[in-house]
Chains A and B, each alone.
Chain A
Amino acid sequence: MAEPTETSAPAASIDAALALLKSAGYVANRPLATVVFLALRMGRPLFLEGEAGVGKTEIAKVLASALGRRLIRLQCYEGLDVSAALYEWNYAAQMVEIRLAEAEGVTDRERLSEDVFSERFLVKRPLLEALEPHTEGPPVLLIDELDRTDEAFEAFLLEVLSDFQATIPELGTVKAEHAPIVVITSNRTREIHDALKRRCIYHWVDYPDALRELEIVRTKVPGADESLAREIVSFIQAIRQEDLFKVPGVAESLDWASALTELDCVALDPETVSDTLGVILKYQDDIAAIEGSRAKELLDTVRAELKAAE
């Protein structure tokens, strides 16, 4: 983990952003480092879209750990509303307070309402927490899988993301002194409205190329045999060219590398590939298409290529 930076600008250049991500174990390419740098510099939310398992969520985690900031995560789901995302009143405690006030004979309505709607009874949810000051600097707010929630919630996010403030009718407007670093991810199961995207720096996170993927495997699965890692990466790269319903992401490559390392493999062979296909392919149709002869063909090509490269 890197030293928490003291300056207001966490990364001074694209190279610094690249180094920052690398220091926390994220192997980024230059386009990604550019958008991270811009998001940090311009104080804009970073909107990351891409297939599942390409490392979108990881970017937020890495940013938090590299900058030494707190990570506040809001996992989106259908029906997510203000009371789960921003704040909620502790109703039970409020009711008790009212009863106590009655027992004491308090009849001043104004005072009672001020007492009951005070911060004491406020239950803070992720978005409100992200707007509050933190000792270690503005936190990293991860709004994960925004596409899972509905348009109504997106509209609500507009205020939070453009002005970094939120309104609680009973208390007033809470405004962040220092804007949090916001990372939004989407798997694109539906299109996010342009109004929200407009406020963000957009980036499509793609599958990495062979070189970068190899570096990722080396970084994340240090126990994996070097030649095995090469074979795994080349095989995964080859399988991404196949006509599959869901091609494996980086997460799957890493899982596979760990799985094969656990099985004490030092090289891929057709049987092991067929036996462990479930680690990288998650649809029965896809497994059926690759299993057996096609896996062997792919493996042969991969081996030939690796040999030629040596």
Chain B
Amino acid sequence: MSKNMIALETGDVGHASGGHLADNIVYFARALRAAGLPVGPAQAVDAVEAVKAVGVGPKSDFYWALHAVLVRRHEHHPIFDQAFRIFWKKRAMLESMMAMLMPSNAPRSTERREESASRRVNDALFSGITRPQAKRKPRIERDARGTVSVEEVLRHKDFDQMSAAEIARARREIVRLRLHFPRFRTRRFKASQSGRRIDPRLTLKSSLRGAGGSIDLRFRDKQERLPPVVAICDISGSMSQYSRLFLHFLHAISSDGFRMHAFLFGTRLTNVTRQLRSKDVDEALAKCSSAAQDWSGGTRISQSLNRFNREWSRRVLGQGAIVLLMSDGLEREPDGTLAREMDRLQRSCRQLIWLNPLLRFEGFEAKAQGIREMLPHVDAFHPIHNLQSMADLVEAIVSQPHRDDAKRRLLFDAARFQVRECPV
């Protein structure tokens, strides 16, 4: 490998079409992969081809040719830029770079895996037998109606007062909650005999099958899909226990094929969508914790929402997303900007649901300024302090109509009313 590097350094451009340069490009692609860019062998081949096409020229052409093929996301540009500068400058630097990149990736992830593996061993030893999920679902329903069981107690116990064992059980309960999530109608169609629109394609096909008989009408209806969910979760000191379990909930729904984006905020906003994608829930949560450096600190809700609105809302709130904002609304230094940020957030999403563990207290009054500023701008307001409230949340999203739907229905009803009033 080092020989190849020297070849490039001595200006072996004469062989640009083959040999050393190609090898070096492949090494460069590998270095990028080590740095976390999704660069596969196909891209490396493309990169060689691109460089061949560009030919001998200024270094910047070489740079952009590689950039065009190897960078697929705007965020990856800085990594590419750094890697390029180091890689194509000096051989020794490359090795140190590889050394720098390797340990920061490899050992940490194995360490985490061991950690979660040990948890899994624990699980398997003490509670692993009660795993099958789908089958168990009807049983809770029965339990809820029947005598006061352990699960019943668990459902109503505040997350904050749970012991470690209870939390572990709560997590397993949370995994089941995803099953009831609602679907929204899209503008796409699917064949359906109970549909209200004629499907011309199917109609024609089926009438041809009969060759000249009657035209057999087929119907179609709007397809339904799961709505994208964006969760923005407060991880300040007062919320940390709730947020951790909420993250379990998020992990459960994201592994269920939901399009989900998750953000954490204390004093600053962190996007943990990629971290939550790890299959293993313990690993995912460990990654989230290391990504967000402000666990259990103070809260700057307004600032964090401002950052979200500026940097992320347009990227993740498309296609009618539901926003779950999990926060106690206790702003550290209320400065009157929170209302504006909440307003902006509500306007950019389908539904803004505020989850607030403080609601568990009966006679909760919105006294804190932060809460008073937030309240007028949410579509729904829910407690989220125990399993029961989490299950209720799922129901709430079902029953809550889309803002526009509600408006439309009102107009529709009004129109119908007028028609009826008209003298014939």
Contact = CB atoms under 8 A, between A and B. Distances in A.
Interface of A: 13-14, 30-31, 34-35, 37-38, 41-42, 49, 78-79, 81, 83, 89, 91, 94-95, 98, 101-102, 106-107, 109, 112-113, 116, 147-148, 150, 152, 187-191, 194, 197-198, 201-204, 243, 245, 285
B42 A198 contact: yes
Given A91-B204, A203-B68, A42 B53 contact: yes
A35 B340 CA distance: 41
**By DSSP majority rule, is chain A's interface helix, strand, loop, or mixed?**
helix
Interface string B343-373: 0100000000000000000000000000000
Contact of A109 (B49, B203, B211, B340): B211
Interface in B191-218: 200-201, 203-204, 207-208, 211-212, 215
Contact of A98 (B188, B208, B310): B208
B293 interface: no
Contacts of A13: 55
B53 A49 contact: no
A37 B211 CA distance: 54
A194 B72 contact: yes
A30 B42 contact: no
Nearest to B43: A198
B109 to A, nearest CB: 21
Contact of B188 (A34, A35, A152, A204): A152
Contacts of B319: 78, 150, 190
B208 A116 contact: yes
Interface in B51-89: 53-55, 57, 60-61, 64-65, 67-69, 71-74, 77
Contact of A102 (B54, B68, B212): B212
**Chain A CB within 10 Å, residue with most, of B40, B61, B68, B72:** B68
B69 A38 contact: yes
A187 B212 CA distance: 50
21 contacts: A14-B54, A31-B60, A31-B64, A34-B68, A38-B50, A38-B68, A78-B319, A81-B189, A89-B204, A91-B201, A91-B203, A95-B215, A106-B212, A112-B212, A113-B208, A188-B314, A189-B314, A198-B43, A201-B69, A202-B71, A245-B309
A193 B186 CA distance: 20
Interface residues of B, number: 47
B315 interface: yes
Contacts of B49: 42
Nearest to A50: B74
Contacts of B72: 194, 197-198, 202
Interface of B: 38, 40, 42-43, 46, 49-50, 53-55, 57, 60-61, 64-65, 67-69, 71-74, 77, 186-189, 200-201, 203-204, 207-208, 211-212, 215, 225, 309-310, 314-319, 340, 344
Contacts of B186: 78-79, 150
Contacts of B67: 31
A37 B68 CA distance: 10
A95 B207 CA distance: 10
Given A79-B186, A81-B188, A35 B38 contact: no
A91 B77 contact: no
B413 to A, nearest CB: 26
Nearest to A9: B53
Given A147-B318, A189-B318, A190-B319, A79 B212 contact: no
Contacts of B314: 187-189
Given A81-B189, A102-B212, 16 more contacts: A34-B64, A38-B50, A38-B54, A38-B65, A41-B53, A42-B46, A79-B188, A91-B204, A113-B208, A150-B186, A190-B316, A194-B38, A198-B43, A201-B68, A202-B72, A285-B344
Contacts of B317: 189
A82 to B, nearest CB: 10
B389 to A, nearest CB: 30
Nearest to A110: B211
A42 B60 CA distance: 19
A30 B62 CA distance: 11
**Chain B CB within 10 Å, residue with most, of A13, A14, A98:** A14
A310 B147 CA distance: 87
B204 A42 contact: no
A34 B50 CA distance: 10
A98 B212 contact: yes
Contacts of A190: 315-316, 318-319
Nearest to A35: B68
Nearest to A121: B204
A38 B74 contact: no
Contacts of B74: 49, 188, 204
Contacts of B61: 14, 30, 34
A285 B337 CA distance: 12
Nearest to A29: B64
A112 B211 contact: yes
Nearest to B60: A30
